[in-house]
Amino acid sequence: MNPKQLTIEKVQEILRREQYVCDRALATVVYLSLVMGKPLLLEGEAGVGKTEIAKVLAKVLDAKLIRLQCYEGLDANTALYEWNYPKQMLRIKLEEVEHGDKQKVETEIFTQDYLIKRPLLEAIQSDGTNPPVLLIDEIDRADMEFEAFLLEVLSDFQITIPEIGTISAKHRPYVFLTSNRTREIHDALKRRCLYHWIEYPTFEKEYEIITTKFPQAEANMAKQICAFMQRVREMNFYKRPGVAETLDWASALIALNRKGLDDKTVVETMGCVFKYREDLHHLKEQIDGKQLNLEALLRVSPEMVS
């Protein structure tokens, strides 16, 4: 699909077709990113659908998804490119046996045939008819130094390899970066991106997400789940549950054939929502100590449906 033909409404619509519910602001930013060819930096709590949107977009744009998962210690060799040393060695050995031309070998083993493409180079060199979607996931996990590599790639869409020269992108890839904010991203990198913070969804949006993903879910139960999630996110838990947890929980409840939520079901399936022992413990303590009324938690209050 050509991004030039897109509009904000269309972005929203095609994302929804792939079961991704997004609000107008996010759709606008995604649209701008696609049309301007500027990378989009998405921040937000864990499990609000930062990574998912890149995946879904790759699907609807019919583009190849190239994903670079960041981790501490990620370096240029694993992110950009690496020379294929064994292949180079074999070639040298071969020429040794055949008494080949020394000069020729020297130039030939430093050509693209001997290059192992890592995600960033792959994204730049992609040949397909559509530009690929490059997802740089959890950039905050990589070291600060790694951000410096990204600067050249993200502003000029080119990579310089000393032995070959500068390789420029045939198609500008659509770039999405995500961050969980375990540390601050450097301003130089941020300035090259559009920025958007994905909030936890509102009650209505979350309800829409559940019913879009699981049309078979009972409306009443979906509402209960959303109400519970909205309230729990305001409470003091070590790790607040995201949309991913909501969906996990909904699918678990559907698998269990539940039509509605009651105290017992909630306690039994709490593992879907809280992934830390302390949080589970905290919740259980509160329920047992009657400080927390589950029924009230599950009720949909009028201010939620504004």
Binding site for other proteins (CB under 8 A): 8, 24-25, 28-29, 31-32, 35-36, 38, 40, 43, 72-73, 75, 85-86, 89-90, 93, 143-145, 181-184, 187, 190-191, 194-197, 278
As measured in angstroms, the least distance from the Cβ of 162 to other proteins is 14
Distances (CA, A) of 77 to 180, 184, 233: 24, 24, 40
Give the residue with the Cβ less far from other proteins, 11 or 135: 11
Give the residue with the Cβ less far from other proteins, 76 or 300: 76
As measured in angstroms, the least distance from the Cβ of 238 to other proteins is 9
Give the residue with the Cβ less far from other proteins, 29 or 58: 29
219 near 211, Cβ under 8 Å?
yes
Q: Would you give the end-to-end CA distance of the chain in angstroms? A: 36
As measured in angstroms, the least distance from the Cβ of 253 to other proteins is 30
Q: Is 187 exposed, middle or buried (0-12, 13-18, 19+ CB in 10 A)?
A: exposed
Give the residue with the Cβ less far from other proteins, 102 or 186: 186
Enumerate the β-bridge partners of residue 82: 116
SS3 content of the chain, % helix, strand, coil (to 5): 50, 15, 35
Enumerate the β-bridge partners of residue 165: 161
As measured in angstroms, the least distance from the Cβ of 283 to other proteins is 17
As measured in angstroms, the least distance from the Cβ of 261 to other proteins is 30
Give the residue with the Cβ less far from other proteins, 17 or 85: 85
CA diameter of the chain: 86
> Please, where are the H alpha helices in 7-71?
8-17, 24-36, 50-60
Give the residue with the Cβ less far from other proteins, 94 or 296: 94
As measured in angstroms, the least distance from the Cβ of 156 to other proteins is 13
As measured in angstroms, the least distance from the Cβ of 116 to other proteins is 13
**Distance between CA atoms of 34 and 6, rounded to whole angstroms?**
9
**Distance between CA atoms of 45 and 244, rounded to whole angstroms?**
11
Q: In what order do the strands lie in the sheet with 133-137?
A: 65-69, 133-137, 174-179, 40-44, 194-198
Kindly state the tokens that stand for 43. 């921040």
**Distance between CA atoms of 177 and 199, rounded to whole angstroms?**
16
Strands (E), 251-290: none
Give the residue with the Cβ less far from other proteins, 107 or 195: 195
As measured in angstroms, the least distance from the Cβ of 276 to other proteins is 11
Give the residue with the Cβ less far from other proteins, 77 or 301: 77
Residue 23's SS3 state is coil
